[in-house]
């Protein structure tokens, strides 16, 4: 069953079995995966064009038109790599400043232990074994502070979720 190994196809298979509609709970992870896939494909294409342009330059010999084609191909490949790098930087900046929760773990709305809701804690699923310090965990609402709950096991265990929001 190849469908059992691909998560989205598992959801489609469950839909066809009459189990109801699948609910997307973390749209940020889907968007992040799509953007990452597009950037990986674009980067690979740019590197392929770099190699092809380099080989074209080497094999151009004394032919000036082939040499110009190779230079153009190399220039376009470098421009493409620059665009990919800038796109990734813009994606990360938007994610950081607006707290979209798109890169890696998505942000979520949490309820603190005093019963207030609506605060957003970025990276709520990071754990001690991810080598993440408390300073990377913060709440968007300035009247809340990020707190560490739990503790880490000595062997890099998966206890101690680092991020939750609590009223100051």
User: Who has greater pLDDT, 130 or 96?
Assistant: 96
Among the candidates 49, 67, 98, a domain finishes at 98
Distances (CA, A) of 4 to 18, 25, 27, 37, 108: 17, 20, 22, 21, 28
Query: What pLDDT was estimated at residue 143?
Result: 65
Based on the domain organization, do 118 and 136 belong to the same domain? Answer: yes
Based on the domain organization, do 88 and 48 belong to the same domain? Answer: yes
Based on the domain organization, do 131 and 114 belong to the same domain? Answer: yes
**Which H, E and C letters describe 43-107, residue by residue?**
HHHHHHHHHHHHHHHHCCCCCHHHHHHHHHHHHHHHHHHHHHHHHHHHHHHHHHHHCCCCCCCCC
User: Who has greater pLDDT, 57 or 108?
Assistant: 57
pLDDT tens digits, 157-168:
444 444 566 666
Inside any domain, residue 1: no
Going by pLDDT thresholds of 50, 70 and 90, the confidence category of residue 34 is confident
**Residue numbers of the domain that contains 78:** 26-98
Query: What pLDDT was estimated at residue 32?
Result: 75
Inside any domain, residue 16: no
Inside any domain, residue 61: yes
User: Who has greater pLDDT, 75 or 34?
Assistant: 75
Among the candidates 80, 98, 116, a domain finishes at 98
Inside any domain, residue 146: yes
Distances (CA, A) of 101 to 80, 86, 90, 147: 26, 19, 14, 18
| Three-state DSSP class for residue 144 | strand
Query: Mean pLDDT over residues 28-43, rounded?
Result: 83
Count CA within 13 A, CB hemisphere, residue 30.
Answer: 7
């Amino acid at each position: 069953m190849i469908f059992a190994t691909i998560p989205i196809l598992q959801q489609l298979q469950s839909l066809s079995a009459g189990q109801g509609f699948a609910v997307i709970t973390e749209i940020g992870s889907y968007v992040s995966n799509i953007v990452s896939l597009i950037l990986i494909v674009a980067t690979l294409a740019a590197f392929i064009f770099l190699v092809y342009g380099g080989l074209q330059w080497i094999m151009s010999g004394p032919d000036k038109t082939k040499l110009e084609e190779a230079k153009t191909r190399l220039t376009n490949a470098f421009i493409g790599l620059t665009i990919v790098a800038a796109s990734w930087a813009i994606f990360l900046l938007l994610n950081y400043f607006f707290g979209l929760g798109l890169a890696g773990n998505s942000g979520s709305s949490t309820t603190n232990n005093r019963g207030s809701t609506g605060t957003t804690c970025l990276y709520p699923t990071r754990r001690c074994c991810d080598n993440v310090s408390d300073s990377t965990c913060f709440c968007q609402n300035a009247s809340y502070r990020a707190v560490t709950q739990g503790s880490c096991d000595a062997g890099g265990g998966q206890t101690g979720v680092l991020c939750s929001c609590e009223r100051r």
